[in-house]
Amino acid sequence: MPIPTPSGPPIDLYVVQPGDTLSAIAYERCGCDVEELMALNQISDATLLQVGQRLRIPVRTKYTGPMLQLLPDSEVVYGPAYRNFDIASFVKKQGGYLARYSERVNGQVRTGAELVQLIAQTFGVGPRVLLTLLEYQSSWVTGEPNSQQKLNFPLSHGHGGQSGLYFQLGWAANRINEGYYTYKRDGTFAFRLLDRKRVLAAQGLNAGTVGIQNVLALTNGWEDWQKAVDYSGFLRTYETLFGDPRRYAIEPLIPEGLEQPVLYLPWPEGRTWYLSGGPHGAWFSGSAWAALDFAPPDVVGHCAISQEWATAAAPGLVLRSEDGQVWIDLDEDGYEQTGWVLFYLHIASLDRVSTGTKLARGSRVGHPSCEGGAAESSHLHIARRYNGEWIAADGPISLVLSGWRAVNGLAEYEGKVVKDDQVRHACECWETEVNGIVSDNPETL
């Protein structure tokens, strides 16, 4: 699918603070006119701002990034190009610090290669990209980190994320996704460099390149960033490790005319659940707004394990079932990098379906809980990937569950679902007429 033509400058979201005025925000945040902000945010009275209100703020800058394509999109996402890539064998062969590294994550000791694999799977980011960043930033793959900073913060150099490889890889993957999916959605993106300059992504780039440029922007000022995203920077390191990136190109990654398979609401027929979260990040804030949240009726505002069952929205093969996550392969080829995959999050370990299970539509998957991620009330988080790319809920291939189509709000978690003349708005509430939805998915025992 082509990158859309931007309709204007890239947009930041700003949350109104006590004492803010629209004129001050216009002057300090974007150097624009009050009238432009009013039109952009559909404000009729400039004096009626509310604390906590979200405003769209246009980003303007004289700086533009280079046109050099770093990697094809199929390398940047965890897609078909990685179907047969053995991370552990590659890392061992290189013989660097990463090959000897281990870290305890969620009570389990994992090797460096296993951490790269874990982040690639959950964030949907290509492991060759992560390995190249580790080598380029801190020589972890073929050599040794030469400072305490590169040992503790191998990717951000202390400018983002927590210390330790697991958090550093997650930080980098989230920033890659932020650039990738924002540029793919809007056709424009503004990098925020270490020296606080704002830089526009060049028009005509592919989304994968923008994602890599974004993570490198956060650790470099203007001069160093231009070197990092030129031939002699990240790209040269990649080619030294893996050769010509064009041999991994799979185009188009998302075919024209691709349609979602028929999906049903993921809980049993006749039961009412509640839309608690509209389109939002599938895995952390950087990824596409690919996910919806649904809350069962028996757990209200706390994290007790629900007695209700989340069920399969379509037939498929369970690829992974761990840490609150269930990944369902709809084409049942056994590879999460290819075709349609459904992602369920916050599924309790108690009674959760096992890896390798073949599910019929309506089969029991598990009970909603808060396991596997940040949550304040038990719910089911559901999202889609195709060929490794998170597919935005609002389209162009809309997430449709039993005819209910997802629609974005202004910010993450806002929004609604629509079916014919019915509308249900996302709300942290349990109100049948506001966000209640009755399922038509017959349960299969």
CATH number at residue 44: 3.10.350.10
- Domain assignment of residue 50, given as a range: 11-60
Sheet with 422-425: list strands edge to edge: 400-401, 404-407, 416-419, 422-425
Same domain (yes/no): 193, 53: no
Predicted pLDDT of residue 7: 66
Number of domains in the chain: 3
pLDDT at 415: 97
315 located within any domain: yes
On whether both 120 and 145 belong to a single domain, the answer is yes
Same domain assignment for residues 82 and 52: no
157 and 32 assigned to the same domain = no
327: domain CATH number is 2.70.70.10
**Does residue 223 sit in the same domain as residue 358?**
no
- Specify the pLDDT at position 292: 98
Answer yes or no: do 82 and 48 share one domain. no
Residue 355 belongs to some domain of the structure: yes
On whether residue 15 sits in a domain, the answer given is yes
What is the phi/psi pair of residue 297, to 5°?
-80, -15
pLDDT at position 36 is: 85
Tokens standing for residue 47: 């004096």
In the chain, how long is the greatest CA-to-CA distance? 64
- For the entire predicted model, the pTM comes to 0.93
Distance between CA atoms of 165 and 150, rounded to whole angstroms? Answer: 10
Return the pLDDT at 357. 98
Same domain? 283 vs 429: yes
Query: Does 113 fall in a domain?
Result: yes
What is each CA distance from 62 to 6, 12, 102, 189, 190, in whole angstroms? 17, 17, 44, 14, 11
Nearest C-alpha neighbor of 203 from the set 218, 217, 221, 183: 183
Domain shared by 234 and 311, yes or no: no
In a domain, 68, yes or no: no
Residues 29 and 50 in one domain: yes
Same domain, yes or no: 228 and 309: no
134 shares a domain with 236? yes
Please check whether residue 403 lies inside any domain of the structure: yes
107/232 same-domain check: yes
**Nearest CA-CA partner of 157 in 111, 194, 120, 114:** 194
Give the other-Cβ count within 10 Å of 121's Cβ: 19
The residue among 99, 183, 182, 179 whose CA lies nearest residue 134 is 99
Residue 203 forms part of a structural domain: yes
Mean pLDDT, rounded, of the chain: 95
Q: If the chain, 445 residues long, is cut into consecutive pieces of 10 residues, what is the mean pLDDT of each piece?
A: 75 85 84 84 84 85 95 98 97 98 94 98 98 98 97 96 97 98 94 95 96 98 97 98 96 96 98 98 96 97 96 98 97 97 98 98 98 93 98 97 96 95 97 97 83
Residue 18 domain flag = yes
Cα distance between residue 165 and residue 115, in whole Å: 8
